[in-house]
Amino acid sequence: MERISAVVTAREEPPEVLEITLAGLLAAGVPEIIVVDDGSLTPVHFKARGVSVIRNEQPLGVARSRRLGASFTENEVLVFCDAHMRFAPDCFERMLEHVDSGALLCAAWWNYELTRPVCWGGEFQWRSTRDHRAGIALVYHDVRPC
């Protein structure tokens, strides 16, 4: 696990949702977690060993925020996470089995027919509009155990 650095991007994420994600990464043994607060109206605050928070005063977007977070990591394996994820207890150990193969690993979100999500985590619903000032993100998350 010492090879992994996780970069988590967050913008207007409910604190309790982000805390569940970060607690899951810590419980899984991820030694370095960089949280990039992408211009949230209420700044992200989280204090734990191995977790650093970087704040963009103005939003950069997910891709640029991930690149920024990656520039602060020290480990050789990067894991990019959204701020509303949960993790199986052995997911990173299983991932590391394939890292040296040269494969690019990514989690599936929907099946090919787009009829059902295949993600592990909270209950998700897609919204067609986004308004960060009103607290409306594209993905609605209900933090219930799966």
Mean pLDDT by 10 residues, the chain (146 residues): 93 92 94 97 93 96 94 94 84 85 68 61 54 61 38
Q: Is residue 141 part of a domain?
A: no
37-47 tens-digit pLDDT: 999 999 999 99
Domain CATH number, residue 21: 3.90.550.10
Three-state secondary structure readout of the chain: CCCEEEEEEECCCCHHHHHHHHHHHHHCCCCEEEEEEECCCCCCCCCCCCEEEEEECCCCCHHHHHHHHHCCCCCCEEEEEECCCCCCCCHHHHHHHHHCCCCCCCCCCECCCCCCECCCCCEEEECCCCEHHHCECCEEEECCCC
Q: Is residue 136 part of a domain?
A: no
Q: Is residue 86 part of a domain?
A: yes
Domain count of the fold of the chain: 1
Q: Is residue 132 part of a domain?
A: no
45: containing domain: 4-107
Q: Is residue 114 part of a domain?
A: no
Q: Is residue 23 part of a domain?
A: yes
